[in-house]
């Protein structure tokens, strides 16, 4: 590479940094995402990307950045064209392949990520990350069996090369896919396997919820008792009270825990634990607070059909059942449990 070429690349990267600063201002303190910006600012950033492309037509980053900005201004064809151009010089990093793939539908996205897996063979972490994203494309197509197959292959690969960093994410995703298929018993076993990993504590709540979603409330209480040290105190208390409430028993939780559980999630809407807080509120006789919360929970979950609408199917159905029941806050006969409690693995 000549000195002139190196200088052009250096200047083009400086121009791209200016474009990024324009397009992605820092968010206000205490918030996430990007800061406020006007359409004129986005167009100015796009013009800077144009300059970088003209100056250095082989620079992958220039096409990747311009593709993202063209997508923002509604130029879908231009965004896809730039994404395809970015593939030609063979990007050398995971982030570029991931951003390129965003411009395409799930089958094409999967092909791009699989191409990255073939090209980027040096890093186990890169390969595992790309493989997990390949598996995720099946989720959004509703192909959960294919996702389960892909994730099990990924876990076998990790075991073979003894690479376990953040393997809990793979177990969590596999468990979600199994639950989407209604295979709650297999999901629970998957979460328990993930609990053995370094960061597996976060899967403790999933073990408990897999029992709840099988209507095995006694088993859920037993699992919760054993896993309580792995759960945040407030969450453990909320789940215990909610499981009692789902059996028609009296239930109480601290005001602080209920308030935290009913707060809007960072992504907007009432989260999963808002539902469990509503169950507790019902059993505390606070129907005026619980019923609107259940309605909001149903609307928010069904409004996200590809994610919450699948992962929270059991809770959505139960929320509708609770709303339809007269005097839902009164104590009633516990519902029949599902499969018998089997905690032998503990």
* Tens of pLDDT, residues 302-311: 999 999 999 9
- Yes or no: is domain 8-88 CATH 3.40.50.880? no
How is the chain split into domains, by residue range?
8-88, 105-231, 253-332
Proportion of the chain above pLDDT 70, given as a percent:
91
Token pair 């076998």 is found at 156
Report the CATH number of the 105-231 domain.
1.25.40.10
How much is the pLDDT for 266? 60
> Is the pLDDT at 287 greater than 50, yes or no?
yes
Split at pLDDT 50, 70, 90, the class of 335 is: very low
- Token readout for 152 is 């099990």
How much is the pLDDT for 1? 74
* Tens of pLDDT, residues 194-242: 999 888 899 999 999 999 999 999 999 999 999 999 998 899 999 999 9
H helical segments located in 141-269:
144-161, 168-180, 184-195, 204-212, 217-227, 233-246, 255-261
How much is the pLDDT for 33? 63
> Is the pLDDT at 333 greater than 50, yes or no?
no
Q: How many CB atoms lie within 10 A of CB 212?
A: 24
CA distances from 134 to 115, 117, 177, 322, 337 (A): 11, 10, 14, 38, 37
Q: What is the DSSP string of 77-138?
A: HHHHHHHHHHHTT---SHHHHHHHHTTS-HHHHHHHHHHHHHH--S-HHHHHHHHHHHHHHH
Q: Do domains 8-88 and 105-231 have the same CATH topology?
A: yes
Q: Looking at residues 90-114, what average pLDDT do you find?
A: 95
Question: Rounded to an integer, what distance in angstroms lies between the CA atom of residue 83 and that of residue 53?
Answer: 13
């Amino acid at each position: 590479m000549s000195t002139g070429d190196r200088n052009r690349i250096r200047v083009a990267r400086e121009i791209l940094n200016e474009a990024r600063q324009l397009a992605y201002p820092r968010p206000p303190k205490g918030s996430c995402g990007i800061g406020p910006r006007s359409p004129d600012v986005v167009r100015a950033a796009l013009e800077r990307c144009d300059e970088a492309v003209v100056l250095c037509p082989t620079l992958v980053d220039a096409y990747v950045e311009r593709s993202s900005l063209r997508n923002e201004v509604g130029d879908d064809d231009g965004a896809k064209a730039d994404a395809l151009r970015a593939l030609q010089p063979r990007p050398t990093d995971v982030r570029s392949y991931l951003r390129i793939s965003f411009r395409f539908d799930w089958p094409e996205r999967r092909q791009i990520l699989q191409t990255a897996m073939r090209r980027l063979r040096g890093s186990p972490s890169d390969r595992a990350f790309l493989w997990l994203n390949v598996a995720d494309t099946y989720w959004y197509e509703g192909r959960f069996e294919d996702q389960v197959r892909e994730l099990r292959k990924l876990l076998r690969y990790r075991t073979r090369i003894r690479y376990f960093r953040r393997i809990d994410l793979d177990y969590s995703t596999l468990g979600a896919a199994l639950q989407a298929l209604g295979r709650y018993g297999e999901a629970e076993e998957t979460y328990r396997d993930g609990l053995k990993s370094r960061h597996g504590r976060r899967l403790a709540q999933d073990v408990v919820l897999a029992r709840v979603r099988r209507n095995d409330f006694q088993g859920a209480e037993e699992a919760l008792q054993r896993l309580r040290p792995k759960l945040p105190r407030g969450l453990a208390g909320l789940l215990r009270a909610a499981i009692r409430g789902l059996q028609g028993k009296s239930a109480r939780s601290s005001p602080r825990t209920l308030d935290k559980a009913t707060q809007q999630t960072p992504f907007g809407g009432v989260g999963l634990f808002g539902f469990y807080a509503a169950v507790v509120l019902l059993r505390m006789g606070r129907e005026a607070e619980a019923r609107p919360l259940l309605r909001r929970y149903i609307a928010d979950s069904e409004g996200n059909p590809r994610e919450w609408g699948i992962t929270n199917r059991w809770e959505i159905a139960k929320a509708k059942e609770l709303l339809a029941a007269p005097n839902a806050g009164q104590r009633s006969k516990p519902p029949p449990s599902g499969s018998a409690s089997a905690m032998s693995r503990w």
